Amino acid sequence: ANSRDYLRREVRYDARNNRVDVPALLRWFSADFDGGSDDAKRNILRRHGVIPADATPDITYRKYDWTLHITNYALFTPLTAQ
């Protein structure tokens, strides 16, 4: 469910131009995605309902956003000595 939610949130499918815009992470960790070929990545996107089953779009990669989303992290409170 986490992968599906992430992909549905981050991937942009443009049927009109036959293109799918994916996060840079899919390129960086290509080997982790069923071998890393574009066909393998499309199959993952199909399996998670991000692109239609019969779609074969070109894949483009977005630049990674290196800004820190601090709200994603809990505040750290060090333990005090007792």
Angstrom distance (rounded) from CA 37 to CA 16: 23
Contact 50, 13 (CB under 8 A): yes
H-run or E-run covering 35: none
What share of the chain in percent tops pLDDT 70?
Answer: 80
For residue 30, the Cα-to-chain-centroid distance in whole angstroms is 11
Q: What's the average model confidence in pLDDT over 41-50?
A: 93
- Which pLDDT band holds residue 52 (cuts at 50, 70, 90)? very high
Per-residue model confidence (pLDDT) at position 82: 60
Q: What's the average model confidence in pLDDT over 29-36?
A: 76
Rounded to a whole number of angstroms, the CA Rg of the chain reads 17
The answer to whether residue 1 scores a pLDDT higher than 90 is no
Q: What's the average model confidence in pLDDT over 36-58?
A: 93
What's the pTM value of the predicted model, to 2 decimals?
A: 0.73
Angstrom distance (rounded) from CA 48 to CA 42: 10
